[in-house]
Amino acid sequence: MWNLEGMRVKGGYLDGDQPVSGKVVLSRVCYGGGISHHIKLDSGFQYKDTTISREAGEVVIVDHKYITEVRD
């Protein structure tokens, strides 16, 4: 099953390095046949020692191959 819209998931953002969890607001087929999921974050994060950060409620895009758990 590739369409995870409305489901709660865990996965890896930034090539799988940053753990994230939240609700999938959009699943789409990308050019070339891959799948990506737009995830509304449950909690924010600061990525390692960089300026990359996201707040709870923001949306990040995660490739399907980095989804590690589907909870609903």
What pLDDT sits at residue 49? 87
pTM above 0.85, yes or no: yes
Task: Report in angstroms the alpha-carbon separations of 63 from 5, 26, 49, 72.
Answer: 14, 12, 23, 18
Q: What is the pLDDT of residues 7-26, one digit of tens each?
A: 999 999 999 999 999 999 99
Q: What backbone torsions phi and psi does residue 20 show, to the nearest 5 degrees?
A: -140, 160
pLDDT at 1: 86
**pLDDT confidence of residue 62:** 97
For residue 42, give the 3-state DSSP assignment: coil
Average pLDDT, the chain: 96
Residue-wise pLDDT tens digits, 61-70: 999 999 999 9
Residue 17: its pLDDT value, please? 94
Domain boundaries, the chain: 1-42
